[in-house]
Amino acid sequence: MTESNVQTPRKRVLLVRHGQTDWNAAGKWQGILQVPLNETGIAQAKALAASLKDRPITAVYASDLTRASLTAHIIAAAFGLPVIEDARLRELNLGDFQGLTFPEISAKFPAEVEAMNGDYMDFSAPNGERRRDMQARAYQALLDIIAADTGGGDVVIVSHGGTIRVLLIRLFGDDETLHQAHVGNTSVTIIESDGQTHQLIQRTASDHLKITAQPTTRDDV
């Protein structure tokens, strides 16, 4: 970012994970593949939109992957807003792991799984992407959104479990609790930021969901 003497106002940003997909329910790793929301995911997005109705939301951004984009459009429609898509907010490119369950990945790529478990940020699946690179692109997208949005209201960013997790690590430190934090479907994490200093207001809340059972599969895929 270009340095300036003008102070960027602090912006409240709601980081939202997309709603559920059939692949989420089946434990398949999605990565950057285009997997749509299922009926539960659409209901989750509608419940979230209803719960946000009294917030001063003035902009909605989203990953361009279908599951995030549709979640964002459901939220934005409640406020009469457009959705601004940004590919930098995508989930991790999981390469050859995409479309497989973790047991299938473990059976087919045992050495790679061992390497992944030993190096969270710098491992990349075959034909995939490092989390550190995903973190860099998503963090720059966040800074650009904060700098560009001069309205006084809140901003919603709809992204993915893995993307939100590495953003939190970048903003608040490489803490083991952030590595293990569950980022559920349509959960809401709230931060305040001026692009230089950041405050965590709320982490991965999902009070808007009547059914709160936790999935048994990873939430960053």
Which residues are annotated as catalytic?
A: 18, 91
Helices (H), the chain: 22-26, 39-51, 66-77, 102-108, 110-118, 131-148, 161-172, 176-180
**64-67-68-74 Cα dihedral, nearest 10 degrees:** 120
- Cβ atoms within 10 Å, residue 111: 7
Given a contact cutoff of 8 angstroms between Cβ atoms, the answer to whether 44 and 212 are in contact is no
Token reading at 156: 């919603």
Token reading at 27: 């434990």
| Angstrom distance (rounded) from CA 44 to CA 19 | 6
| Angstrom distance (rounded) from CA 21 to CA 11 | 30
C-alpha neighbours within 13 Å on the C-beta side of residue 107: 5
Amino acid (1-letter code) at residue 103: P
